[in-house]
Structure 1
Amino acid sequence: MGPHDSFNIDPQEFTVAAVCDICAKKPGFGNNRPWSRKITKRRFDPNIQRVRAVVNGTPKRMNVCTGCLKAGKVSR
């Protein structure tokens, strides 16, 4: 198998690290605008914390943004 061969990935099993499991907040994209005016693309990541939350009576590890933690959307 070569380096450019594709893999069959199930979308339900594939997870992205910088996405909140509660509200689906994900990275935003924008520009760096330094004083020298050289514009480059950058990525604004949400503040994601890996916490143990109780889901259906069992503890489970979840990636949750701090906005959901502060709002009490997760029972720890």
Structure 2
Amino acid sequence: MARKCAVCGKGVAVGMKVSHSHIRTKKTWAPNLQRVKAIVDGAPRRVMVCTRCLRSGKVQRAI
């Protein structure tokens, strides 16, 4: 399963980690994804959703 939000599409961000001596190495920042049961197309499904979408109410959770 991809590390991408099913609602907003937020995914992994890539950048450089820079040390004090300016040695640069690749670094990734992963979104805070939660596996929740949500209503998708009228049926409950398990989807990966970022916590920002959960908090803002963009996801209707299923019981």
Q: TM-score normalized by structure 2?
A: 0.84
Asked whether 1:35 is paired with 2:25, we answer: no
Match of 2:44 in 1: 59
Q: Deviations over 1:2-33 (max 9, x none)?
A: xxxxxxxxxxxxxx521000001111110111
**CA–CA distance in 2 between the matches of 1:36 and 1:66?**
35
Runs of 5+ unmatched residues, structure 1? 1-15
- Between structure 1 and structure 2, the one with the greater Rg is 1
Task: Give the ranges of 4+ consecutive aligned residues of structure 1 lying more than 3 Å apart after TM superposition.
Answer: none
**CA–CA distance in 1 between the matches of 2:39 and 2:8?**
16
By how many angstroms is 1:63 displaced? 0.6
Give the root-mean-square deviation of aligned CA atoms.
Answer: 1.3
Runs of 5+ unmatched residues, structure 2? none
Which secondary structure state, in structure 2, belongs to the residue aligned with residue 70 of structure 1?
Answer: helix
Structure richer in strand, relative to its length = 2
One-letter code aligned to 2:34: Q
Ranked by relative contact order (alpha carbons within 8 Å, sequence separation 6 or more), the top structure is 2
Q: Percent identity over the alignment?
A: 44
By how many angstroms is 1:55 displaced? 2.0
Question: How many residues in Structure 1 have an aligned counterpart in Structure 2?
Answer: 61
